[in-house]
Structure 1
Amino acid sequence: MRRGTRYGALLGPLLAGGARPDLVERAARGLGLPERGRYAVVVLGAPVPEGAVVEGPDVDGARWWWGGADGSPGGAEGRGEGREESREVAVVLLGPAGPDRAVARLRELGAGPGGVSPVVGSPAEVAAAHRLAGTALLTCEPGSREIVRLDERLPAALLVSRPELSTRLLAEVFGPLLTLVPAERSLLVETLEAWLECGGSVGRAAARLGCHRNTVFNRLRRLERLTARSLSRPRELVDLVLALDVLRLSSAPAGPGGGG
């Protein structure tokens, strides 16, 4: 991974978007970026960890160019307010293992939270990749150390890209749930999350939560009554899953866990 003020200045035209093609070409030449290649952009929501910035390719043959603080607004219409001041950005010429290895490398270094763009094929496409990496970052849970690829978070990315609709969705689907005391709300949310992660199996969710399967069943029925949506109807289940994503990404936590 490479970093320095010279790289930051050269990366500017590539990352900002709207730069003249000749400036993009000149910047790519100055950085040594091939005209065609497999590129991704990384946007971190915290400073680059110690030891992350080294000269030369990494063990996978990927080459990294760090540009320092990222002054972009994140492209999410204000969704990330207060979360962009400490951003750092890198352009990665991927090695044979592709973006999965780049994600693994960042996790090994303790970086995060961070978003990784889809793969693009030229320096001219880096600006679009930068915007998408910033959107991927916004799908990370507040306070987490996640490193996520946009392609793994597309529904959540749609939500953070339209915050006014996300707020409306949360109120419409989870409105009655949000009026519960935090302990009750947290218990129902935790049960729904466990049920989803267990592929809709009440028995497996009960084992994960350490309670009887009837307890899980009763909690899920209560959640259905509160939201007026059925877990057995696919379209209504989509509403619940998307609302759960909005709640996860909200700055207001679900509340401390409680017994029940």
Structure 2
Amino acid sequence: MRRGTRYGALLGPLLAGGATPALVTRAARGLGLPERGRYAVVVLGTPVPDAAVVEGPDADGSRWWWGAAEGSPGEVEGSPGAAEAREGGREVAVVLLGPAGPARAAARLRELGAGPGGVSPVVGSLAQLGAARRLAGTALLTCEPGSREIVRLDERLPAALLVSRPELSTRLLAEVFGPLVTLVPAERSLLVETLEAWLECGGSVGRAAARLGCHRNTVFNRLRRLERLTARSLSRPRELVDLVLALDVLRLSSAPP
């Protein structure tokens, strides 16, 4: 994993998107990268760990180049304001993937204690890095506040749709869980926690009860109450989708249920 003024200066225009063919060719030569290949972009919400910035390929053959902080594509390492941009912004890396693909890149970042972070889908050329950076940034937005998780966009597509349209997400949350505001906070939290446990247990009331440390009838009664309050049935797929998506919005927000 490499970082430096030269790398940042060459990567910045590519990550910004819309680079001309001549610029792509010049960057490829300067970085020693093929114009076409299996690439991914990583966006971190915190400064990259020092252990991530080393020379040479990783164990699986992937090669990393760290560029400017997201939101400052022209800012390069060593230039005035670069440190401040990274401190308050997002770190961005371009990865020439090895055989294990983006899953290994995400695992490597977890091993280094990085995060939160988003990993883009695979793109086939340096010219597509701008689009990949935007998608990696969207993946980062699906990380729960305060977490250090590393997520791949392809694993979070429904949540990515939600964070891409915050005004609709806010509306969805109010429409689905709005009726819960009549309850005291402890009751609201209990119903939401029960729904989360039921979903994580594959819709099994018995397993959810074991996880929550209560009787299965208690879980059943809480779920029925949630259905009545939200006017949505867990047995109707389209209405269940509403509840699951609203739960994702709630997870990604700092607002209490």
Aligned partners of 1:71 and 1:85 also within 8 Å:
no
Match of 1:124, SS state, is helix
Q: Distance in 2 between matches of 1:178 and 1:77?
A: 49
The structure 1 segments of at least 4 consecutive aligned residues displaced by more than 6 Å after TM superposition are 73-84
Aligned partners of 1:70 and 1:84 also within 8 Å:
no
Counterpart in 2 of 1:164?
Answer: 167
Over 3 Å counting, the alpha-carbon distance change for 1:142 and 1:169 in structure 2 is same
Aligned partners of 1:46 and 1:88 also within 8 Å:
yes
Over 3 Å counting, the alpha-carbon distance change for 1:57 and 1:81 in structure 2 is closer
Counterpart in 2 of 1:152?
Answer: 155
In the TM superposition, what is the alpha-carbon distance from 1:50 to its structure 2 partner?
2.7
Aligned partners of 1:45 and 1:83 also within 8 Å:
no
- Give the TM-score normalised by structure 1: 0.91
Residues 74-111 of structure 1: per-residue CA shift (max 9 Å, x gap): 99999999999331000000111111111110000000
Over 3 Å counting, the alpha-carbon distance change for 1:73 and 1:31 in structure 2 is closer
Matches within 5 A, 1:41-190: 41-71=41-71, 85-190=88-193
Greater share of residues in helix:
2
In the TM superposition, what is the alpha-carbon distance from 1:178 to its structure 2 partner?
3.6
Aligned partners of 2:159 and 2:248 also within 8 Å:
yes
Match of 2:85, SS state, is coil
Aligned partners of 2:198 and 2:205 also within 8 Å:
yes
Over 3 Å counting, the alpha-carbon distance change for 1:141 and 1:79 in structure 2 is farther
Over 3 Å counting, the alpha-carbon distance change for 1:25 and 1:138 in structure 2 is same
Q: Distance in 2 between matches of 1:214 and 1:201?
A: 12
Over 3 Å counting, the alpha-carbon distance change for 1:51 and 1:84 in structure 2 is closer
Q: Distance in 1 between matches of 2:236 and 2:3?
A: 51
Match of 2:23, SS state, is helix
Which blocks of at least 5 consecutive residues in structure 2 are unaligned?
none
In the TM superposition, what is the alpha-carbon distance from 1:5 to its structure 2 partner?
1.7
Q: Distance in 2 between matches of 1:32 and 1:51?
A: 22
Match of 2:81, SS state, is coil
Aligned partners of 2:44 and 2:92 also within 8 Å:
yes
Over 3 Å counting, the alpha-carbon distance change for 1:79 and 1:245 in structure 2 is farther
Aligned partners of 1:46 and 1:113 also within 8 Å:
yes
Quick check: 177-186 or 81-90, which moved more?
Answer: 81-90
Residues 2-35 of structure 1: per-residue CA shift (max 9 Å, x gap): 1112111111111001222211221122111112
Aligned partners of 1:61 and 1:96 also within 8 Å:
yes
Quick check: 43-52 or 73-82, which moved more?
Answer: 73-82
Quick check: 157-166 or 15-24, which moved more?
Answer: 15-24
Counterpart in 2 of 1:238?
Answer: 241
- Give the TM-score normalised by structure 2: 0.92
Over 3 Å counting, the alpha-carbon distance change for 1:238 and 1:150 in structure 2 is same
Quick check: 21-30 or 118-127, which moved more?
Answer: 21-30
Calculate percent identity across the aligned residue pairs.
Answer: 90
In the TM superposition, what is the alpha-carbon distance from 1:179 to its structure 2 partner?
4.1
Aligned partners of 1:112 and 1:146 also within 8 Å:
yes
Q: How many residues align?
A: 253
Q: Distance in 2 between matches of 1:76 and 1:196?
A: 49
Over 3 Å counting, the alpha-carbon distance change for 1:76 and 1:49 in structure 2 is closer
